[in-house]
């Protein structure tokens, strides 16, 4: 892939058949308008380079974009996901100004000690995220309601399900709002990378397994449905954001007092986090 385009302000990229694009170490930010994949095409974009469509990304129904280790930033207002967007190999993906979304974002495998990162600007409820695991980070930005976000919760979709709705609340007394209708968790892996089973059945991660800096509360209702409140999520009211980073037990968290094992984090500790919007470190209090 090269970064030579016609002389107009933006050149749209339209892909109608399956292809593999190797970005190498390149940075492609100039003159790319809308990046479109349709016609049931499967397109893999591999990094570690980056590409920035300034007018959005369109994935038609039946089509797939796989981002493997690449940085992909869709900053325009035309993002429309009807197909599948797969994030793997330690890819870092930012989707802003989503106008329509009926498709799926799915997380894939990552290298050792790597993380897949999805920065999702929410101006409407996003429908479906799948295969969320301990190797993934989800940042939801742009949540507005006239006051601060006070609570976040995960609501199980059915008894025994590994799928949850992610909801948030402003002001402590308002109705719960849904950020993501359905987030399904991946099957757990053992220390050798093999899928974990119990009595022949797969064992999936839950919000309680994420071990973020907030442990929250867990309630099971009379129907057997679990709700996890203020679990595995950090709230950043300056940017109207919810940050969900998965940390397994023993993971070291960077704080203002040095690195601390996640299981030893206490309410009031100051966590050092990266503000991807402003390209700087910030601190957040454990709630």
Distance between first and last Cα of the chain: 46
When pLDDT is averaged across residues 22-30 and rounded to a whole number, the result is 83
When comparing pLDDT for 61 and 224, which is higher?
Answer: 61
Cβ neighbours around 115 below 10 Å, total: 17
Strand pairing report for 92-95 and 64-68: unpaired
| Cα(118)–Cα(246) distance, integer angstroms | 13
Q: Tell me the pLDDT tens digit for each residue of 177-221.
A: 888 999 999 999 888 889 999 999 999 988 877 655 445 678 888
| Cα(236)–Cα(119) distance, integer angstroms | 14
Q: What pLDDT shows up at residue 5?
A: 39
Q: Contact, 50 vs 24, CB < 8 A?
A: no
Report residue 71's pLDDT band, with 50, 70 and 90 as the boundaries: very high
| Cα(246)–Cα(135) distance, integer angstroms | 7
In the chain, where the domains are located = 11-229, 252-286
Comparing C-alpha atoms, which of 21, 8, 91 is closest to residue 54? 8
Q: Tell me the pLDDT tens digit for each residue of 97-116.
A: 888 889 999 999 998 878 99
Average pLDDT, rounded, for the chain: 81
Q: What pLDDT shows up at residue 254?
A: 55
Comparing C-alpha atoms, which of 46, 55, 54 is closest to residue 24? 46
Q: What pLDDT shows up at residue 260?
A: 58
pTM above 0.75, yes or no: yes
Given a cut of 70, is residue 37 above it in pLDDT?
yes
Comparing C-alpha atoms, which of 125, 110, 194 is closest to residue 165? 125
């Amino acid at each position: 892939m090269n970064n030579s385009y016609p002389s107009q302000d933006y050149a749209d990229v339209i892909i109608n058949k399956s292809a593999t694009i190797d970005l190498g170490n390149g940075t492609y930010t100039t003159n790319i308008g809308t990046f479109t994949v349709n016609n049931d095409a499967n397109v893999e974009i591999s990094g570690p380079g980056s590409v920035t469509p300034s007018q959005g990304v369109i994935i038609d129904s039946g089509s797939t974009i796989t981002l493997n280790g690449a940085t992909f930033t869709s900053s325009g207002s035309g993002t429309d996901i009807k197909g599948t967007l797969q994030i793997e190999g330690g890819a870092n993906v930012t989707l802003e100004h989503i106008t329509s979304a009926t498709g799926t974002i799915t997380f894939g495998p990552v290298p050792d000690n790597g993380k897949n990162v999805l920065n999702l600007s929410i101006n409407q409820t996003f429908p479906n995220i799948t295969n969320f695991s301990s190797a993934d980070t989800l940042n939801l930005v742009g949540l507005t309601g006239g006051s601060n976000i006070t609570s976040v919760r995960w609501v199980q979709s059915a008894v025994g399900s590994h799928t949850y709705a992610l909801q948030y609340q402003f002001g402590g007394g308002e109705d719960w709002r849904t950020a993501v209708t359905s987030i399904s968790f991946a099957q757990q892996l053992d220390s050798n990378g093999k899928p974990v089973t119990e009595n022949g059945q797969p064992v999936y991660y839950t919000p309680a397994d994420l071990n973020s800096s907030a442990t929250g509360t867990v309630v099971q209702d009379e129907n057997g449905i679990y709700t996890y409140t203020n679990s595995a999520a950090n709230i950043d009211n300056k940017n109207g954001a919810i940050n969900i980073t998965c940390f397994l037990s023993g993971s070291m968290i960077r704080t203002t007092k040095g690195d601390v094992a996640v299981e030893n984090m206490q309410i009031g500790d100051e966590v050092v986090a990266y503000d991807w919007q402003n390209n700087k470190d910030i601190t957040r209090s454990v709630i």
